[in-house]
Structure formats: structure tokens, C-alpha cells
Structure 1
Amino acid sequence: MQLKISILIFLFYHGFSLSQSYFPPAHEPWTKKSPEEFGLKINALNKAIEFAKTNEFSGERDLRVAILKGFAKEPYHQILGPTKKRGGPAGIILKNGYQIASWGDTHRVDMTFSVTKSYLSTIAGLAVDQGLINTDDITVNSIWDTTFDGAHNQQITWKHLLNQSSDWSGTLWGSHDWADRPPQEGSIDDWKNRNYHTPGTHFEYNDVRVNVLAYSLLQVWRKPLPQVLKEKIMDPIGATNTWRWYGYNNSWVELDGNYMQSVSGGGHSGGGIFINTEDHARFGLLFLNEGNWNG
């Protein structure tokens, strides 16, 4: 089976080898090999693992509390989607697809925050492959409701949404674009009445705008994005059925007579991808092999 994907991702994977020799089958334990079989230095590998185990996130394991504390300076910030208490550090090291080391509970499902953006942008890549969108097209041509109202927003293309240079202005699911990581200087009135950057000229990391991308992709796919991900990616690569992709309690929309949830692109206000380490690793292998899974 071969999956050819136009990859439009926020997180890029470097230093990969195309000499992939093993792809883990679905519903079977991951085949393990020793680091020595690949000529790797076991002492150096163990040091890297120990570093990962002793340098976990320093905040609360109750991620609802951690999120509220982390974004306490944002006006009107609130939890709108599910959260989950996190486990301890966990990880896998792969070589040519084989598992050569692991630590922690690699089957535990946890929140993954902005790693969700890699999954979301994969959905965008699939939309390009299927001719649903062209990244240079003006988004308002496809999403003609009020989402892209106004002279500024009507300049935004799919590419601008994907590379976080849209400077989209508005409110989505009760969250304001200007309230997401506001500047340290100025007041709420200053942030609300800022000068706009021409789309494509200024990068700004903004989760409200990522959620605009998720909503826009829902409109063109016309079915829930987790369903698209499951059918097009996760089932073909043999992922488990334990992963979930959530939106917010107020992000439900009606399409073609059916209610669907518009998912979030991270855990800023809860939601996003909840997944275990091994399913993450399968997704990573797909990208390391340029969209080709055992084909």
C-alpha cells in the first residue's frame, strides 16, 4: 500500500533515512532489535534516554490546571474542550523502523497539544491531493459564510492559514484572535485596534487562526476531520483505535443536515489529538518515508 501525500506541515522531520526495511504490522507488538545491530553506541543512547526521562515538563500533571496557569495572562481564556492528566515521560527510538529503545508507558494515551498541527496539516495535504483545495486560492471562495468577512480577511489564502501568516482577524468559538498570546505592551483596546499585516508578510503563532484552518477544512471535506484522518491515514498505517481528536463544547456545526464537531489544532483551550507514543511513531514513520507505508 502506498500513501502519496502533499505534505504541508508545521513540524518538519529531519535527518531521516529512506532505507526503511520494517513497518510494524497492525495489532502486533513492535519488533525490537538491539542498538548494537546497527552499530550504535549504547552508552550515548542511554545518556539521551536518561536526559529525556529527567527533563519532563515541569508543570502540573493535571493539564487542566497547567493550561489555565500557562495562559492566565490571556484575556477571557477558558477551557472549552477535554483535558487529561498526563503520565510520565515516554518515548521510542526507532532505527529503520525497528524499535531499539523505549521508556515509560508507550501505550498510554495523552494530550499532545501543538503536535496536533501536524495531523491537521496532513488533512490539508490530502485535500490538495484530492483537488478539494489549491493552496494559492483565496479561502473565502470556498468558505463563503461570515468567517472571512472584511477586506482584510478576504485576501487570505489556504497557504497563509497553513504557514501562520494570515493575520486573520475575528472571533471563533468565543475566542478572539487578538487575545491569543497578546503582546506584553499595551492594553486590550490597543490589541483590539491593532494595525493588520498584509496576509503572507508576517508570521504569528496563533491557535485561534489554526482553528480557523480546521473549521475551513471541515467545510471542504464536509465530514468530521477525525473520520478523514482515520480512513486515510491511521487505519492504513495500523494505528490503534485508542487515539481521539477533540474540538470544543461549542464548536459543533451543521453540515448537510448532520451535526459535526470542528476540531482544534492543539490543547490551548483543551481538545486536540489525544494519542499514545506508538501511534505517534507510526505517523512519524509515514513522514520519514515521504508518505509511503510499506509500498
Structure 2
Amino acid sequence: MTTITDALDFIAAHETPWPRDLRAHLDSGFFDPPPDNTPVGPVHPRGPVNAIITRKGEVLGTTGNTKQVDQTFSVAKSYLSMLTGIAVGDGLIADIDRPVRELVQDGGFESPQNATITWRHLLTNTSEWEGELFGKSDLIDRGRTLSREGSGPKRSTRQLQPPGSYWEYNDVRVNRLSLSLLRVFRRPLPEVWAERVMNPIGASTTWKWEGYDTAWVEVDGKRMQSVPGGTHWGGGVSISAEDQLRVVQMAANGGVWEGKRILPEGWVKDSITPCALNPHYGYLYWLNTGRTKWPAASEGAFSFSGAGGATCWVEPAEDLVCVFRWLDPQHLNEAMRLVREAVA
């Protein structure tokens, strides 16, 4: 009979092959060859593997130091999705199917290629935004294939398609969403995130959301730093598994924390609805449509996911919410199987 201890022991025994020195890893060209690999934001050494498994809000078990604060890479994309929902709920974005340029006039959406891009396009990675942002061109991730990370040059020569007609995982375009949200809130996003999410859910004060050295802009005469939706070129969200658990638990509860609504009603439901071009993707959330991404999880499972082994997994079938830090992604599906078997 499989136990939670068995699942945790498996996770502890299958740490990511990434080195602890993340700066050296990025410099090595894992994501991009030189000169595109150059970090422009802070990069911190990572700690060992750790994990938390909860069911119905109760901790079933942990392994490692779950207070350890590490950079969490693209889990931050899902945080941008939540911030977009807050902007919608506040009336700052009236309709996610309207062109972004109607609210953001900073030159980023004026070209023929970019003029029709909507907020939905940015949320679903279907924008096909073209340009350079903070010293990084969309060409760096154009042609990116997640299954072959670390395989060498990307910079595909493929012709761009109309916005909304092509799905591509492109960090520059996600960062364009982040800057657009900064323009709409007219405040640094880490301030909004703290005020509207982290403080209400009782998170610690150990987390931080860092921007690129190159990502300073002026808003209402004030100098503000835009933050990225990941750590591809440094920066991004550094956070503990315990604080991540609170965020994902709130999402699993439909955007509510201990009776207090954090995200607009229906926003999480919309976020976990597959986009038209990728059944495994919603509003910057990963989905398990057809059980073809994680066969061991249920059809309704979803996650916030980051490179190197950062997974915040919601399993509605068993009311499970789990955070795995630095678990080798090659062993994620087996970890999910063991956890589900343990609670069956």
C-alpha cells in the first residue's frame, strides 16, 4: 500500500539535475546560446528539493525545508494571470477581448502586427507580439519548443501569424503583458500583488518579485520597475513552498481565501478553460485536458509550473493541493501517481 511517506521519499530522491548555482546554469546557455542567454536581473543559488502535500486544507506531509526561498521561474506567469483578473475586477480592463492599445499607449502596440493584440491573446500565449523589450527580442523565444529546452539556438525564421492564430511559449511576450499591467495599475506590480493577494492570504514577508536592471519605465512622472513573468533572464518571483501553497490553495478555492474573495468570481474557472490553440493551456495556467499532459492526474488537474522543477499542483478529484520544489520534471507524473494512490 502506497503512503504519503512513500510519495515524499520518492520526491526527495529525485531532485532536479539543475546545478545549485543557477547563475552558472543560465550562463551555460541552457535556455539560449550567447548572447541571448545573458541575465539582466538578479539570479540566486537554489536550495535542495522540498515539497508539501495537503488535502482539504490539511498538511499530509512535507519533505525538505519548505520555508526555503527560491526563484520559481514561470510559476510567476500564473501570478500575472491573477493580477489581470484583479484589474478586470477593478474595472481597469473592461473587456479582455479588446485591443491592449486602447489602454496602453507606450508604442508597444502601434505596429500593424501588434495593433490588434488583445488581453486574451497575451493571457493565452497567442499574441504573436513582435518587438524588443528591455533588451530582449521576441525572436529569442520564437520557435521555442519546451520539450527540447537546452537544445541550442531557437530564433526561428518562421513568419509571424495574425494575433490569436498561433500558440507559442514566449517569455518576452509574457513580459509585455506584465508591463501592460503596470501601465494599467499605474503602480509597481509587486506592490499590488502584496496588497491584493499576499497580505490577505497571510503569506510571509520573505518573498520578493524582482525586475530586470533594464526594466525601468516612467509612469505618471515616477520611475517604476516592470517585473518579468519568470526567471529566464534573472529576476522574477523568489518565494517559499509554504507561501506558494497559500497562493495555489486560494486558486483551488476559486479565488477565495477563508471566506474573503481575492480574485473576481469566475476568473479561476475562466483561467482553467483550455484556449482554442492549446488544450493544455488556459490563462497562463497548465491544464491536463484528455489526461495527456500528466496521465497519472485527473482530467481536471491544473498547475502553475516553472522550469527546473517548480510545480504547484491542484487535483480537484481528491481535493489535493501540492507544491513540489526542484523535483526533476521527468519524475513529476510518477510523483502525482504516488500521491493519488496514497490518498485513494
- Shared fold by TM > 0.5? yes
Which residue of structure 2 aligns with residue 52 of structure 1? 11
Distance across 2 between alignment mates of 1:165 and 1:206: 9
How does 1:55-134 map onto structure 2 within 5 Å? 55-69=14-28, 70-73=30-33, 75-133=35-93, 134=95
In the alignment, structure 2 segments of 5+ residues that lack a partner are: 145-150, 260-344
CA distance in 1, matches of 2:32, 2:167: 23
Report the alpha carbon displacement of residue 185 of structure 1 after superposing the two structures with TM.
11
Q: What residue in structure 2 maps to residue 270 of structure 1?
A: 234
Shift of 1:75: 4.9
Partner of 1:11: none
The aligned amino acid for 2:52 is I
State the one-letter code of the partner of 2:174: V
Name which of 60, 83, 100 aligns with 1:139: 100
Which residue of structure 2 lines up, in the alignment, with residue 176 of structure 1?
137
> Deviations for 1:74-95, whole angstroms, at most 9, x for unmatched residues?
6533101111111101111112
Q: 1:146-184: CA deviations, max 9, x gaps?
A: 111211100100000000000100000000101126468
Equivalent-residue separation in structure 1 for 2:253 and 2:138 (angstroms): 36
Moved more, 223-232 or 141-150: 141-150
Question: Aligned partners of 1:71 and 1:100: how far apart in 2?
Answer: 35
Contact 1:74 1:182 in 2 (8 A): no
The aligned residue for residue 21 of structure 1 is: none
Correspondence for 2:222 among 237, 240, 258: 258
Query: Is the CA contact 1:139–1:158 (under 8 Å) kept in the aligned structure 2?
Result: yes
Distance 1:256 1:278, change over 3 A: same
CA contact (8 A) 1:164 1:209 kept: yes
Residue 29 of structure 1 corresponds to none
1:68 partner amino acid:
D
Residues 170 and 176 of structure 1 are in contact (CA less than 8 Å); yes or no, is this contact kept in structure 2? yes
Query: Hey, what's the Cα distance between the residues in 1 that align with 2:153 and 2:31?
Result: 17
Query: Where do 5+ consecutive residues of structure 1 fail to align?
Result: 1-40
- Alignment partner, residue 128 of structure 2: 167
Q: Distance in 1 between matches of 2:153 and 2:57?
A: 50
SS state of the match for residue 59, structure 1?
A: coil
Cα distance in 2 between the residues matched to 1:79 and 1:185: 17
Verify the 8 A CA contact 1:111 1:274 in the aligned structure 2: yes
Are the counterparts in 1 of residues 20 and 46 from structure 2 also a CA contact under 8 Å?
yes
CA contact (8 A) 1:114 1:266 kept: yes
2:181 to 211, 217, 224: 217
1:73 CA drift (Å) = 2.6
Cα separation, partners in 2 of 1:187 and 1:238, compared to 1, 3 Å? closer
Task: Tell me, in whole angstroms, the C-alpha distance in 1 between the residues paired with 2:54 and 2:184.
Answer: 36
**Secondary structure at the counterpart of residue 154 of structure 1:** coil
Q: Is the 8 A contact 1:243 1:274 kept in 2?
A: yes
Q: Deviations over 1:78-131 (max 9, x none)?
A: 101111111101111112111120011111100000001111111001001111
- Pairwise CA RMSD: 1.8
User: Structure 1 residues 187, 217: CA separation in 2 closer, same or farther (over 3 Å shift)?
Assistant: closer
Partner of 1:204: 168
Partner residue of 2:246? 282
Residue 244 of structure 1: how far off its partner (Å): 0.3
Count of aligned pairs? 251
**Once structures 1 and 2 are overlaid, which stretch shifts more, 66-75 or 205-214?**
66-75
TM superposition score normalised by structure 1: 0.81
- The structure with the largest alpha-carbon Rg is 1
Structure 1 residue 229 corresponds to structure 2 residue 193:
yes
Provide runs of 4+ in structure 1 moved above 4 Å.
Answer: 181-188
Decide which moves more: 77-86 or 179-188: 179-188
- Change in 2 beyond 3 A, CA 1:74/1:265: farther
Return the TM-score normalized by structure 2: 0.70
More displaced 10-residue stretch of structure 1: 216-225 or 173-182: 173-182
Tell me which amino acid in the other structure corresponds to 1:73.
Answer: P
For 2:72 and 2:183, the matched residues in 1 are separated by: 24
Q: Which residue in the other structure is 1:242 paired with? A: 206
| CA deviation string 1:36-82 (max 9, x = no partner) | xxxxx6x4322211221121110211111112221243653310111
